[in-house]
Amino acid sequence: MSEAVSALNHAEFDGLAHVREIGLQGMITLRGDLKTKAIKNAATKATGLSMPAMNCVETNEANGLCWMSPDELLVMCAYDEVGSTLAKMQKTLGKTHALAVNVSDARAVFQVSGPFAREVMAKLCPVDFSPEAFQPGLFRRSRMAQVPAAFWMCDEQTFQIICFRSVADYVFELLKAAAQHHSEVDYY
């Protein structure tokens, strides 16, 4: 069996903020009517988390549940546990009209951390990143320059960003440029 490698294989950059590709992350897309009990159960039982509110994310050490749209959730787990998590979800879903698919290898995940993380993100996304408006717990789908991205904050100074694997290199270059030394704006 071939060895799975993430898009940029843990690439890192140190500048205004620390940027790194976190490597392999298990991700399952769950689509369906999120009000359906079986779909809620499939997501919450497989992760041990409660259902995220609109535009929010729920996380614990191992797993995550991200609200993507009124009919889509992103379930996060360890990369090598995707198979068993997916099986658990399928079992709970039964014959409910829903879709659960392993998308781990279709995505890349970055982390931007440091006191200037908010500024680095604000240079790239049309989002209000002031501490009053964007806090840990919120989940946001938007764009980074020319490509779609989704992100949330793990803590006050750390962003986690999901993008498509095919644009991982582009997003890394963007983040590097936005995090260049001496490029602080001192806005936040």
Shortest distance (Å) from residue 130 CB to another protein: 15
Shortest distance (Å) from residue 149 CB to another protein: 8
18-21: strand order across its sheet: 12-14, 18-21, 107-113, 158-164, 147-155, 139-144
Residues 30 and 71: their CA atoms lie apart, in Å, by: 8
H or E stretch including 168? helix 168-178
Among 29, 36, 41, 55, binds another protein (CB under 8 A): 55
Q: Is 142 in the site for another protein (CB under 8 A)?
A: yes
Minimum CB distance to another protein smaller for 24 or for 39: 39
Strand partners, 66: 57, 74
Q: Is 143 in the site for another protein (CB under 8 A)?
A: yes
Total residues contacting another protein by CB under 8 A comes to 12
User: Which 155-184 positions form the footprint of another protein (CB under 8 A)?
Assistant: none
H or E stretch including 83? helix 82-93
Q: Is 70 in the site for another protein (CB under 8 A)?
A: yes
Other CB atoms closer than 10 Å to residue 174's CB: what's the count? 22
Residues 133 and 4: their CA atoms lie apart, in Å, by: 37
Return the structure tokens found at 111.
Answer: 């982390």
Minimum CB distance to another protein smaller for 11 or for 51: 51
Q: Is 68 in the site for another protein (CB under 8 A)?
A: yes
Closest CA to 129 of 167, 157, 163: 157
Q: Is 141 in the site for another protein (CB under 8 A)?
A: yes
Shortest distance (Å) from residue 131 CB to another protein: 18
Strand partners, 152: 139, 160
Among 2, 9, 37, 54, binds another protein (CB under 8 A): 54
CA dihedral 122, 128, 133, 135 (to 10 degrees): -30
Shortest distance (Å) from residue 58 CB to another protein: 18
Shortest distance (Å) from residue 72 CB to another protein: 8
Shortest distance (Å) from residue 140 CB to another protein: 8
Q: Which residues bind to another protein, rule: CB under 8 A?
A: 54-55, 68-70, 72, 126-127, 141-143, 148
